Amino acid sequence: MDRFIDSIEWIAAIFVGVVAADVFISITLRYFFGIQIPDAYDFGQLLLGILIFWGIAATSYRGTHITVDLVYANIPPAWQRAMDVFATLVLLFVVSVQTYTLFDKVVATREANLQTFDLRLPVWPFFALAWIGDLAAVLLIAVRTYRLIFHPELMRKPDELTRAVE
């Protein structure tokens, strides 16, 4: 399971690199050479959408998204675990509904034959890649929920694992 989780994180990282390369190359060509990549703006938007959904998958499992620890830091560990489980269940529900509705958007985009402006490429494969990232988020949040409930020792943060080994 950890290999699967790591591969999801690598895919998200690859999309970060692709978006950064797209922006860098587009800007460099436009400002220094007066050349514009066809559909660069559309690709940038679509790739950023894909990146966001794969990023949700990567951050949801690790719990490395932005948090406010005002209450959490001042309650006993048992209550912290209960809060983690509750928050993860809410997240699982929300992302599951989001995944369901995004699938409808993929199907509607395919049926509408929506295309990019310059090259007339179909847009639905980009939407489908984003949906797969969202589906990966649901799977990883489900794994996180299972591990929080039944194997909380597997959910230690990397710095806690380092201290436990020493």
Secondary structure of the chain in HEC code, one letter for each residue: CHHHHHHHHHHHHHHHHHHHHHHHHHHHHHHHHCCCCCCHHHHHHHHHHHHHHHHHHHHHHHCCCCCCCCCHHHCCHHHHHHHHHHHHHHHHHHHHHHHHHHHHHHHHHHHHCCECCCCCCECHHHHHHHHHHHHHHHHHHHHHHHHHHHCHHHHCCHHHHHHHHC
Domain enclosing residue 141, as ranges: 2-165
pLDDT for the residue numbered 73: 84
User: How many structural domains does the chain have?
Assistant: 1
Digitized pLDDT (tens) for each residue of the chain, 166 residues in all: 778 888 888 998 899 999 999 999 999 999 999 999 999 989 999 999 999 999 888 888 876 666 667 888 889 989 988 988 998 999 999 999 999 999 999 999 999 999 999 999 999 999 999 999 999 999 999 999 999 999 888 776 555 544 444 5
